[in-house]
Each structure stands twice: as C-alpha cells, then as structure tokens.
Amino acid sequence: MNRLTSLGDEALIALDTAAGRAAGLFNPNVRLGVTGLSRAGKTVFITALVHNLIHGGRLPLFDVAHSNRLARAFLEPQPDDGVPRFAYEDHVRSLVDERIWPDSTRSISQLRLTIDYESASAWNRLFGRGRLHVDIIDYPGEWLLDLPLLGKDFAVFSEEAESAARSPAREAVAAGWLAVADTVDPDAEADEVLAGRLAETFRAYLAECRAANLALSTLPPGRFLMPGDMEGSPALTFAPLTKRADRARPGSMQAMMQRRYEAYKSLVVKPFFRAHITRLDRQIVLVDALSAINAGHAAVADLERALTEILTCFRPGTNNPFSALIQRRIDRILIAATKADHLHHESHARLEAIIERIVANAAKKASLSGASVNTVALAAVRATREATVNEKGETLPVVVGTPIAGETIGADTFDGNRETAIFPGDLPADPAALFAPADATGQRFVRMRPPRLERTAEGVTLSLPHIRLDKALQFLLGDRLQ
C-alpha cells in the first residue's frame, strides 16, 4: 500500500483501474503523464511531440519512425469527459504563426494521440497494422508537490515551512509572511481577516521564491501559486503557523488553520492523486535545470529536494497480466533537463551529467524500485542554431537566435526581431561544484523566440525542430510500438 493512501483509498483506486481496463480491453493505450515545475516547458513539449508525430518530423532515434514503421499519427476526441482538452491547435498557432511561447500550464488537461504502426515482428504483421492510443495528461508539477502533504499533519507542515522560510536562501523574501505569522496567537479567536492576510503574505512569499533570481522549486501548497478553479475558496485561505499550541482550542486561529489544511488535503490533493496520478503508466518530469544553475547552489539543492518529493509521489513498479487489471504502476520515468538549445552541443554532456547527479540522489531517497529511470538533456523546440565566431584570434562556439523583445545583454536591449550570437559559456565539468556554497556560474541564459520554420521547395512547412525529442519518445513509447 502506498504511504499516501489508506486501505479504503486503495480499494477505490482498484475499482477505478478495473473499470478503465475493461473499457480499453480491445484498444491498447498508454497513459503518459507530463509534468515539471514552473517554466520547464510542459506545454511546449507536448505540442512539439504531437506536431512531430503528425507531420513526420525528423526522429532518427525513435525506432518506429526511423525504421519507416510509423504509418500515421492523429488526434482523436477527448476520452475523459471530465478533463479539459489540451489546446494543441492554439499552441501550434502561437509557436508557428506568431513565434511566441504558449501560456504555461495552469491546470490539468489531456489529449489523445493515436499511432498506427507496422509491427517489427513478421508474425504480428500477419494480423494487420498495430494501433496504440497515447493519452497525454498535462498537469502542473506544483500540484504534484502537494502529494507528500497527505502524510503530514498541520504541525509537521508548519514546522517544515517555517524551517525553509528561515533558511539563508529564503529569509529575505519570507520576511513579510514571517512578520505577520510571528504575531499570531494560536489560541486567539479565529479571525477571517487575519487568515486572509496570512494566506496572502504566504502566497506572495512562495511566488517570490519561484521568481527567476531565486528559481526555488519546493513550494507547497501548489495551488497557492496555481489555484485553478479553487481560487478564493476557504480551502486555500490558510497558512502555516510559527507559534502553535500542543492542542488547538475549538474556535481558535490554530483550529481554523488546521481545519482548512485538512480540507485542502481532502478536497484538493487526494482527489487529484486518485483521479490522475494512480492512472499513469509512463511519466516524464521536465526540469529547468539551467535556471537553477544560474541562480546558484541553493536553487540546485532545492531542485534536488523538489525532485525527491515528486518521485516519492509516483507509484513505480511493474505489473503482471493479473495485477494490471486492478492497479497501474509507472514502469518508466524520464527526467528531462529542458532548454538544451541555450547551450552549444559541446556542453550537453555536462548538462546531462548534472541532471544525472541530481536525479541519482533523488531516486535513491524516493526508493523507485521496479521502475526504469532515465535522464536526457533536450529542447522540445529548438530556438537556436550553432555557429562559431572568432574573437581575438580564438574560435568560440556560439548559439544564434532571436532574443525575446526586452531581453538584455549588457547594455544591449533586443526588439524581438534581431538575431544575435551568444557565447553561452561552459557548465562545470564536475556536477558536485554546483552544490558548493562558493559556486558561481556567471551565466545568464537569454530567452529566445521560437524559430521561423523551414519550408520545402513545394512550400510545405516542416515540423518543429528539436534536440533529442526522439530519444525521449523512444524511452517512453518505443517498447509499446514493437
């Protein structure tokens, strides 16, 4: 039994799984979860994945495409009536026509992609073409970080939140919330106005932690930053308390905060876990490691903690044909460091080594027995191209792209139309250096506009360019397309 669930929860999950298996008995499908923390590129990843499969993108490392066994890929109607559809067409329009990055994931959504393929087995080909439904579930990683709260009471939650807020990396931005929280008498009468102030200052502190200059990742409760349809509800109007009584008096501030914290878990966290996380077969976690690296060792260490929390929430393992009827297990988890196009390819191996180091520690702590875990450095949409420049007799590798309007390099501010060459610098050869307090990369990664798509001589627009999207596809889906 998962430590986040009770026996009753597991019974309901088994019923849900059995019903889902029965519905898809004659239609093989795989449920692929796509998550990541803010600005990691979830929306872009899904859009690029679908666009490349539908439009015949260059995918040499995706075996079914490389061996010309991919007959076609197409979108089908939304399979779950209670889940919003991923706005694929809108996102393609943003990327291709307007050359702007689509809006970030703010709530859960889903898309069904169907793949028709020829089997690699001559025997299987006698029975006709294979078909696999891929249900892609997009959800904010901030929501996933809420799942460990199911195993923590209000006192533990408050203690951990206060400890993090008083750490050197956060104390300055947490000052506003701490100033309010430190004045709260836990035994005083419940006060809605004070509860609102506590919640708002705590939310502002979390938002500041997520800002680019800090790039911190471990920020529960996740709905405080991405409330979805829960915005303004009492279940989101609470905060940790820095002063707590051993036992909350009925009608007190502490009793109100405890009650709302428990309501948050029962009304928000547990339904999300049961309805979505327990139904996944495969999972990719997208990580904006470059922003953490740029922010310094505290952000890198916090990213490792966040990944540990995330990996702990999954239900890893393998199923035999009988157990699969009543439970789903995630048997493949891919951790992808995004925005590899910000670096020259000579630094990609170092980026992968960094993410491998972070994931190795997180996976060990999360005890992911039974699941295959892999890492990759990728760019779902490649916004740059590589070149070299000569400077003072030295040849330097650079990336060339169009910075987003308002981006700056030194005293130069870009208008969103002019291309420029950027020397991105080198990542440290030893990933351990990033965890040292003295580390300073001295790098700032400039945001680029999506690329202008190439066209064939016949005027056909090619698929979105990428870096190692095909490698990710092979790990996540390759074995299901044999």
Kind of pairing between the strands at 385-391 and 372-377: unpaired
pLDDT at 59: 96
* Ordered structural domains, the chain, with CATH: 7-139+276-382+468-481 (3.40.50.300), 152-266 (no CATH)
Closest CA to 293 of 355, 383, 238: 355
Q: What is 108-154 written as a DSSP string?
A: -EEEEEEEEE--SSHHHHTT--EEEEEEEEE--HHHHTTGGGGG--H
pLDDT at 172: 93
Tell me the pLDDT band of 1, cut-offs 50, 70 and 90: very low
Q: Of 59-63, 300-304, 376-380, which range is least confident?
A: 300-304
pLDDT at 53: 97
Tens digit of pLDDT for each residue in 10-32?
A: 555 455 555 554 555 557 899 99
Of 288 and 444, which is predicted with more confidence?
A: 288
Within a 10 A sphere around the Cβ of 58, how many other Cβ atoms? Answer: 15
Tell me the pLDDT band of 461, cut-offs 50, 70 and 90: low
Within a 10 A sphere around the Cβ of 25, how many other Cβ atoms? Answer: 9
Kindly report the pTM of this predicted structure. 0.87
Residue 416 reports pLDDT greater than 90: yes
- H/E run at residue 60: none
Q: Tell me what the mean pLDDT of segment 394-423 comes to.
A: 91
Sequence-distant (≥ 6) Cβ neighbours of residue 157 within 8 angstroms: 149, 240, 261
What residues does 332 pair with on adjacent strands? Answer: 282, 372
Closest CA to 17 of 5, 7, 25: 25
Q: Tell me what the mean pLDDT of segment 376-400 comes to.
A: 92
DSSP 178: H
What residues does 212 pair with on adjacent strands? Answer: none
